[in-house]
Amino acid sequence: MGESRIDALTRELKEETGLKKVKINKLIGSFENFFYYQPTDDAMHAFLFFYDCTTDETDLKTNDQIEDQETINPQWMKIKDFKKEDLSDMNDEIFDMIKQLQSNL
């Protein structure tokens, strides 16, 4: 709350990956997600925004450098190799969007 989606994306990228020089190209999809947050089992409602971004940076933070303790092992992967199991709470609509990106390569 209190920050734009672009500001939030920029902040989250820096906090969770260490990337500072990211070009945000365009919004490619948005979704609502309802889930139970573990380990507290609290019901959550999240708004998810997916952006096409580019960067020349390649070095990502290691687990001991990540501040929020929710991100684990950030890594680069080719979009063609992405599988539904690669993200938790992945619903079919989000995975379909990623598959569409794969077919556009």
Quick: pLDDT tens for 35-88: 888 778 899 898 889 999 999 999 998 888 877 667 788 888 888 888 888 876
Cα distance between residue 77 and residue 82, in whole Å: 7
Cα distance between residue 8 and residue 14, in whole Å: 10
State the residue for tokens 């079919």. Answer: 92
Query: Which tops the pLDDT comparison, 67 or 4?
Result: 4
Please indicate, yes or no, whether the overall pTM of this predicted structure exceeds 0.85. no
Cα distance between residue 32 and residue 19, in whole Å: 26
